[in-house]
Structure 1
């Protein structure tokens, strides 16, 4: 295994951290779920709360959760790898490949609230529009998208600590399965916040600690060492072979591949849709857009400082592999950061890397577990196995789904690991296999003329075409189809573009041959999960602070501002609670949007804001910023120092946006929980009724009254 000749930390430390952190977070979430239920009237034993948090999440927590879900281990660990390979340009190309996708998801999320207000998964409205076959095709594409998230983490943990690969693969997701199965999506929002707080703090600490180390010498010292190293290093494809130029051909190619890959990882990941469903209408756009700005900090800052520091010190006695260079296997397995930290600070810093890896991977896994369990429970169990499933039965299916998918992740990861896949290969594998569904999914929500045949056929042809181009070019250009040849840039680039654009062209062409127009009203037959005798269908309206203080129920369907355009609230004008069939025209005429006129106007306003922000984001992150820098220029010392300083300031902005602000935004809910807990402590043994008892009794009373 990569890195086995360099001892970074002992196995005991690795096992202790992975098992201990998993157990710690499982306990914290169990406590959190209890607090939510006891003091905030949020019961994760009901499907609406488990899967979409009663659609009540505020801006701060939404931003933190989206940031955490998008903070894949690749962004922190592999940004240093690519900076080491290609220089100062690579982290920016990495960062620019992360942002616009989240801004696009803000547009889709708020559009979904307008057109599919009661959806639980993106697959629900796919089935309404394209029927059973289309439903199955897109479920398949979604599951591919969520299949490869643990590979990088397991290899890094093994490379750092020497843990058994199979043990690392099993233990990393084990604790996540426990707390996700119990707490649902609200638990993932809370753990996402905790993971983000810890991971960002570690990244900022490592960035500053490395930069100020005597062997690096600060901004000026790092620059001087890089200039001196240019006599030994000639980066193929870079202007004058320099690490300090933005004109880097391979970085630019990687940036294009990454943009396609990440677009698929967002659009085809039900977790991002589900978090938009769970957020309040006032929180979706600002939450997602705030995360899209903050995420730039992850690869830019730490990738630039640590990746370039590796180049600066690798030929000095302080470096752990000296007098030898790092092997390709070590680099491809993401060990640049651990080697730099081991060289400068010893094994304790590598233990910190293990904590960072755990934080990054578990936040991603928890979101995907909820998303896939929702697909299994709503889109498979409720749709094909038990169409009259109650809230309780759906919850049971969801819990089973979390555990089952956890086992699938483990099995698939072990298979990929023993087949020789690594994190570098995954970055090129994912866009080829996940991109075919992007345009058909976008058209499903945004273009009424995409036909059923187009939606089903085009992504499958695109998938086959992309894989064919990928394998064919790998063979024709490099003489074989292996992990190494399929990890080359050009086959992956052409294959990714083929997978992305073939379905777009085919879908439009097929749809125009036999035109049809979809009635958006049919989406309104997706309804809430109701169970007699439960309060599970209650949506809440957060107060202006974005917290749960002053939460108000709106009608038995629970949508904030529930009612029809005329303000009537009769039962016959509510959306259907099941989707056992696609509505007939007569049934469609009876469907009325569950949101009132004021709320719909509010959503349309946010939709315009989201589109405007998306256009600005694309202009800046894809066109103005990287392309204006792509010229015959080598950074001078002043510009380099300013460049790195801004990247570090961006890290602190991210900390403010997705760690500090959520605490302020949720201050009232935090206060309610602490007040209730303190009241219970004071009343223990006094015989007085506690806040929790009053909440419990009021809940029981409500149930009895409803019965």
Structure 2
């Protein structure tokens, strides 16, 4: 039997694909949203008194527990990338989108906790560019800081645009109004309470996201009759089972909707992009560095990995259900703007309106707002830290007081938000949010990972090599993008096949930029003089013993919990092969 829509407006919505306001908030819905905004502002004001020093403002005083740091670690990434972007990508590409949660996240998160965190933590660095300063000097630090600052404001713009899109699609609100409401709110609570305010709000937002976003997959599965029926309905409607298999369709570029080969998923995504993002993107690493001790810092990514494996249930599943139940086809963003149809990026709000009535709609919309503000706040707080420590404090004003740096951090928060507002409008020209995001990752994250991992694991890597390798990798990624942009036929060389599609191009571009970075770093290292081993203590594996974490029982050891997560990860990939 067809489901009885909880929202009467959904009856008109599903009569056709023409855009219109999908729902109208009741007094209860408005109250739920208002309470959320009041809470996040209150947290900012409440924590203002404990964010007066640079260590408190930028690093939350390094006093977060493993659970708080871990939830914040995964929540900072649970913004538009997950809620809007990957729901749309699941509709566009099928269950292949889940690779970005499993092979594209879990191994890298475990590697960060077990291998890399001891070096980040014991060096007491305030940022990833700060680690590069200790390992390679000012050149690598400046290049990575500029690249990262540029990327964070672009990513923050994605979250702004995504939230505004939800408000426009679901409630008919003006796009500009929604962008400014979200940006001003985030700017206030991050500027007031610094990283501590961002972290506590991210934990609150994590709980709200799960509470509100669970409605869609649960009610969706009820409507279609369970997972087995959903697979059958997708097969019947699309005439192909490729949308419900993760690995069995990756033998050829033309045998899956993403147009990608398994080598791109394993090496481009699973190794370069995933390890680059989860181990070198300061947006997420900053949360772990706020932990109160080394063991907490190592456990935080492992705790985050456990929750990350569950996120596809609230993100990927709604996109798959939409393939079965929506009576019309969604299109790319550019086509949607030109024709008035719904785009891939609107899958989640469409499904939210389908299933949620008064009260529940307010909770669902609040969950989406919380996700977008979480991702936006993460980017803004990371931008503020990198700008203040690694650009302003390192090259412009080296001798300022601690109070001055805190003030600069607060002002740069507002400046970062204003720049992000401008970048929010760039996203409208992308076919889908995730295609846009993966382009950014291939430009900045992939080569950065090559520089950091060589610096951390190889004593021979030199100061000059760190800079030139990072620069060569970044230029390679941008050059390959321009090549395909100007000459689409070049896709067969960049992505190894003329049948490859946009996402495959992003994965292989990231792989090539990482390889160029590594090769240039190795070659230049052998042409230049390395630093004495005595200067690398705490920066390179094998130079100094790691501190004892004093685990009294075997079940307290991070490696034990990492192993459990790894086994579950392998099991999920086998189940959905």
Q: TM-score, normalised by structure 1?
A: 0.66
- Taking a change above 3 Å as real, the CA distance of residues 17 and 126 of structure 1, as seen in their structure-2 partners, is farther
Aligned length: 524
> What is the match of residue 71 of structure 1?
78
Retained in 2: the 8 A contact 1:440–1:504?
A: yes
- Taking a change above 3 Å as real, the CA distance of residues 206 and 344 of structure 1, as seen in their structure-2 partners, is closer
Query: Aligned-pair distance for 1:478?
Result: 5.7
Larger Rg: 1
Query: Aligned-pair distance for 1:231?
Result: 3.5
> Would you say 1:248 and 2:256 are equivalent positions?
no
> What is the match of residue 216 of structure 1?
224
- Taking a change above 3 Å as real, the CA distance of residues 164 and 610 of structure 1, as seen in their structure-2 partners, is same
Query: Aligned-pair distance for 1:279?
Result: 0.5
Matches within 5 A, 1:168-187: 168-187=178-197
> What is the match of residue 694 of structure 1?
none
> What is the match of residue 106 of structure 2?
99
Instruction: Tell me how far apart the structure 2 counterparts of residues 226 and 498 of structure 1 sit (CA, whole Å).
Output: 36
> What is the match of residue 636 of structure 1?
none
Retained in 1: the 8 A contact 2:43–2:189?
A: yes
What's the C-alpha RMSD, in Å, of the aligned pairs?
3.8
Q: Spell out, residue by residue over 1:327-376, the C-alpha distance to the aligned partner (whole angstroms, 9 max, x if none).
A: 34367542122222323445865544432222112222222222221222
> What is the match of residue 662 of structure 1?
none
> What is the match of residue 267 of structure 1?
279
> What is the match of residue 452 of structure 1?
463
- Taking a change above 3 Å as real, the CA distance of residues 8 and 497 of structure 1, as seen in their structure-2 partners, is same
Matches within 5 A, 1:239-638: 241=242, 243=244, 247-249=248-250, 250=256, 253=261, 255-256=265-266, 257-259=268-270, 260-281=272-293, 282-299=295-312, 301-315=313-327, 324-329=328-333, 332-345=343-356, 351-414=362-425, 416-417=426-427, 419-420=429-430, 422-434=432-444, 435-477=446-488, 488-519=502-533, 521=535, 600-602=547-549, 621=569, 625-626=572-573, 630=577
Query: Aligned-pair distance for 1:189?
Result: 1.7
Q: Spell out, residue by residue over 1:214-253, the C-alpha distance to the aligned partner (whole angstroms, 9 max, x if none).
A: x433x2xx53364255343134xx5xx5646752334665
Retained in 1: the 8 A contact 2:170–2:353?
A: no
> What is the match of residue 32 of structure 1?
46
Query: Aligned-pair distance for 1:169?
Result: 2.6
| 1:162 maps to which of 154, 162, 172 | 172
> What is the match of residue 116 of structure 2?
108
Retained in 1: the 8 A contact 2:186–2:373?
A: yes
Matches within 5 A, 1:40-51: 43-51=50-58
SS of aligned partner of 1:453: helix
> What is the match of residue 543 of structure 1?
none
SS of aligned partner of 1:334: helix
Instruction: Tell me how far apart the structure 2 counterparts of residues 92 and 505 of structure 1 sit (CA, whole Å).
Output: 28
Retained in 1: the 8 A contact 2:109–2:279?
A: no
- Taking a change above 3 Å as real, the CA distance of residues 417 and 602 of structure 1, as seen in their structure-2 partners, is closer
- Taking a change above 3 Å as real, the CA distance of residues 394 and 242 of structure 1, as seen in their structure-2 partners, is closer
> Would you say 1:148 and 2:152 are equivalent positions?
no
Retained in 1: the 8 A contact 2:273–2:441?
A: yes
- Taking a change above 3 Å as real, the CA distance of residues 179 and 211 of structure 1, as seen in their structure-2 partners, is same
- Taking a change above 3 Å as real, the CA distance of residues 340 and 602 of structure 1, as seen in their structure-2 partners, is closer
> What is the match of residue 207 of structure 2?
197
Instruction: Tell me how far apart the structure 2 counterparts of residues 171 and 161 of structure 1 sit (CA, whole Å).
Output: 15
SS of aligned partner of 1:150: helix
Q: TM-score, normalised by structure 2?
A: 0.79
Query: Aligned-pair distance for 1:79?
Result: 3.5
Query: Aligned-pair distance for 1:112?
Result: 2.0
Matches within 5 A, 1:684-703: none
Query: Aligned-pair distance for 1:46?
Result: 1.3
Instruction: Tell me how far apart the structure 2 counterparts of residues 88 and 19 of structure 1 sit (CA, whole Å).
Output: 32
Instruction: Tell me how far apart the structure 1 counterparts of residues 134 and 551 of structure 2 sit (CA, whole Å).
Output: 23
- Taking a change above 3 Å as real, the CA distance of residues 518 and 28 of structure 1, as seen in their structure-2 partners, is farther
Retained in 2: the 8 A contact 1:207–1:306?
A: yes
- Taking a change above 3 Å as real, the CA distance of residues 466 and 388 of structure 1, as seen in their structure-2 partners, is closer
Retained in 2: the 8 A contact 1:469–1:494?
A: no
Instruction: Tell me how far apart the structure 2 counterparts of residues 358 and 493 of structure 1 sit (CA, whole Å).
Output: 29
- Taking a change above 3 Å as real, the CA distance of residues 454 and 11 of structure 1, as seen in their structure-2 partners, is farther
- Taking a change above 3 Å as real, the CA distance of residues 130 and 11 of structure 1, as seen in their structure-2 partners, is farther
Query: Aligned-pair distance for 1:176?
Result: 1.1
> What is the match of residue 62 of structure 1?
69
Query: Aligned-pair distance for 1:457?
Result: 1.1
Instruction: Tell me how far apart the structure 2 counterparts of residues 197 and 628 of structure 1 sit (CA, whole Å).
Output: 28
**Uncovered stretches (5+) of structure 2, i.e. residues with no partner:** 1-16, 251-255, 337-341, 492-498
Instruction: Tell me how far apart the structure 2 counterparts of residues 487 and 350 of structure 1 sit (CA, whole Å).
Output: 36
Retained in 2: the 8 A contact 1:128–1:523?
A: no
Retained in 1: the 8 A contact 2:80–2:158?
A: no
SS of aligned partner of 1:450: coil
Q: Spell out, residue by residue over 1:557-616, the C-alpha distance to the aligned partner (whole angstroms, 9 max, x if none).
A: xxxxxxxxxxxxxxxxxxxxxxxxxxxxxxxxxxxx9xxx9x92228999x966787688
Query: Aligned-pair distance for 1:4?
Result: 6.7
**Uncovered stretches (5+) of structure 1, i.e. residues with no partner:** 38-42, 316-323, 526-592, 631-707
